[in-house]
């Protein structure tokens, strides 16, 4: 049976590209889908994308900051891609890139005509504007280039408020604002191709987003199932499906046929957790999933994972995660909002085309 082809993303680079942006994009997009399982279970998961660094040719060159780039492919060798991302291009604010990237521009036009999503980060949108691909459309760029767009690309409707902007047929042109907005772009692409859950997992793995509250809100509390003690392993398997039951620790001990004290000792020796702490980890992790994906009230979320007292649930959640349930929902609901906004935009475009 033939392996399923992964969506291909080409990162278009030039000598004006900044290394931090290029390799940040490459690292996150390459490991999406695989890094979290490896961190938690020690076994890589399935990648979401095939990612290639591309340029006008395969000849190695030094980018901005004198960092070596060795393109995997030259654009002349690429007939199709699912996504082409124009990386940033350091460009003096009074010198538009007129006539400098003819081969890259022709390639971008071909890719777009072939159905690819075109994206840019920061000043990469200058190349899309130079290609005429943004004519009559809304786009974003780094705020410092507002005057350049006004003077040299007046047909582009520059948006100086948004981080990501979606335009064109089926919203297949995605421009991102300043340099660090590459993170927002990667999460959008992971959501688009791999789903919301995969995007949230990636954000947690790389601590992408607001980090002012520390690391705990990003951490995934998913203890591994051990194999050294078969009785305890069976308990772990059972509680993973029954974490919301009443008296979960006593239920596990009864299932194992052990006294509470013996069960607790063996569980602690095998897993490194007290049984109640282990159950709390499972419950809180499931609560996080519900807060990320459902519109249940905080009380209903607590009830769903086994807590009848909303106050106790909120207190435990804050202690384990570092945020209240409501604050956690606000922090990670932005990905859902972004996905919905893109879906709505695509639907609007489809209706207008009819």
Q: Examine the domain organization and report whether 135 and 240 are in the same domain.
A: no
Q: Examine the domain organization and report whether 184 and 298 are in the same domain.
A: no
pLDDT of residue 343: 43
Tell me if 20 sits within 8 A of 178, measured CB to CB. no
First to last CA, the chain: 39
| pLDDT tens-digit readout, 150-185 | 899 999 999 878 889 999 989 999 999 988 999 999
Q: Output the 3-class SS for the chain.
A: CCCCCCCEEEEECCCCCEHHHHHHHHHHHHHCCCHHHHHHHCCCCCCCCEEEEEECCCCCEEEECCEEECCCEEHHHCCCCCEEEECCCCCCCCCCCCCCCHHHHHHHHHHHHCCCEEEEECCHHHHHHHCCCCCCCEECCCHHHHHHHHHHCCCCEECCCCCEEEECHHHCEEEECCHHHHHHHHHHHHHHHHCHHHHHHHHHHHCCCCCCCCCCCCCCCCCCCCCCCHHHHHHHHHHHHHCCCCCHHHHHHHHHCCCHHHHHHHHHHHHCCCHHHHHHHHHHHHHHHHHHHCCCCHHHHHHHCCCCCHHHHHHHHHHHHCCCHHHHHHHHCHHHHHHHHHHHHHHHHHHHHC
- Residues forming beta bridges with residue 117, ordered by sequence position: 83
Q: Examine the domain organization and report whether 304 and 165 are in the same domain.
A: no
Q: Examine the domain organization and report whether 149 and 28 are in the same domain.
A: yes
Q: Examine the domain organization and report whether 187 and 318 are in the same domain.
A: no
Q: Which residue, 179, 209, 239, sits at the end of a domain?
A: 209
Q: Examine the domain organization and report whether 186 and 246 are in the same domain.
A: no
pLDDT of residue 299: 96
Considering the domain boundaries, does residue 348 fall inside one? Answer: no
Considering the domain boundaries, does residue 175 fall inside one? Answer: yes
Considering the domain boundaries, does residue 326 fall inside one? Answer: yes
- What tokens does 74 get? 């030259």
Q: Examine the domain organization and report whether 119 and 243 are in the same domain.
A: no
Q: Examine the domain organization and report whether 202 and 123 are in the same domain.
A: yes
CATH number at residue 234: 1.10.10.60
Q: Examine the domain organization and report whether 325 and 201 are in the same domain.
A: no
Q: Which residues of the chain register pLDDT less than 50?
A: 1-2, 336, 339-354
Phi then psi dihedrals of residue 312, to 5 deg? -65, -40
Considering the domain boundaries, does residue 86 fall inside one? Answer: yes
Considering the domain boundaries, does residue 87 fall inside one? Answer: yes
Q: Examine the domain organization and report whether 90 and 173 are in the same domain.
A: yes
Q: Which residue, 209, 240, 273, sits at the end of a domain?
A: 209
Considering the domain boundaries, does residue 260 fall inside one? Answer: yes
CATH number at residue 66: 3.40.50.880
Tell me if 158 sits within 8 A of 137, measured CB to CB. no
Tell me if 121 sits within 8 A of 179, measured CB to CB. yes
Q: Examine the domain organization and report whether 303 and 271 are in the same domain.
A: yes
Considering the domain boundaries, does residue 70 fall inside one? Answer: yes
pLDDT of residue 335: 57
Give the Cα-Cα-Cα angle 106, 112, 116 (nearest 5 degrees): 130
Percent of the chain with pLDDT over 70: 93
User: Residue 9 and residue 13: Cα distance in Å, rounded?
Assistant: 13
Counted domains in the chain: 2
Considering the domain boundaries, does residue 338 fall inside one? Answer: no
pLDDT of residue 91: 82
For residue 329, give every residue at least 6 positions away whose Cβ sits within 8 Å of its Cβ, in sequence order, or none: 291, 292
pLDDT of residue 347: 42
Q: Examine the domain organization and report whether 24 and 124 are in the same domain.
A: yes
Whole-model pTM: value is 0.81
pLDDT of residue 353: 37
Residue 308 domain boundaries: 230-332
Burial class (CB in 10 A: 0-12, 13-18, 19+), 235: buried
pLDDT of residue 264: 96
């Amino acid at each position: 049976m033939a392996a399923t082809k992964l969506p291909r993303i080409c990162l278009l680079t030039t000598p004006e590209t900044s290394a931090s942006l290029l390799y940040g994009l490459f690292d996150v997009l390459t490991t999406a889908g695989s890094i979290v399982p490896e961190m938690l279970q020690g076994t890589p998961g399935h990648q979401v994308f095939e990612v290639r660094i591309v340029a006008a040719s395969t000849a190695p060159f030094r980018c901005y900051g004198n960092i070596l780039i060795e393109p995997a492919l030259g654009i002349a060798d690429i007939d199709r891609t699912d996504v082409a991302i124009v990386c940033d291009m350091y460009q003096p604010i009074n010198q538009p890139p007129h006539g400098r990237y003819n081969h890259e521009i022709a390639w971008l036009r071909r890719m777009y005509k072939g159905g690819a999503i075109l994206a840019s980060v920061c000043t990469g949108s200058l190349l899309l504007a130079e290609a005429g691909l943004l004519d009559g459309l809304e786009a974003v760029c780094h705020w410092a280039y507002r005057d350049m767009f006004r003077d040299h690309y007046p047909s582009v409707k520059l948006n100086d408020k948004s981080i990501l902007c979606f335009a064109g047929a089926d919203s297949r042109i995605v421009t991102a604002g300043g340099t660090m907005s590459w993170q927002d772009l990667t999460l959008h692409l992971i959501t688009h191709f791999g789903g919301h859950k995969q995007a949230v997992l990636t954000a947690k793995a790389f601590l992408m987003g607001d980090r002012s509250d520390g690391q705990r809100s990003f951490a995934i509390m998913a203890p591994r199932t051990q194999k050294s003690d078969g009785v305890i392993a069976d308990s772990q398997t059972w509680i993973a499906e029954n974490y919301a039951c009443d008296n979960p620790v006593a239920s596990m001990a009864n299932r194992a046929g052990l006294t509470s004290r013996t069960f607790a000792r063996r569980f602690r020796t095998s897993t490194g957790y007290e049984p109640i702490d282990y159950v709390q980890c499972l419950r809180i992790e499931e609560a996080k999933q519900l807060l990320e994906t459902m519109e249940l009230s905080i009380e209903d979320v607590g009830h769903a994972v086994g807590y009848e007292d909303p106050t106790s649930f909120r207190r435990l959640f804050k202690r384990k995660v570092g945020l209240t349930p409501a604050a956690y929902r606000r922090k990670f609901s932005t990905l859902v909002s972004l996905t919905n906004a893109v879906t709505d935009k695509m639907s609007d475009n489809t209706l207008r085309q009819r």
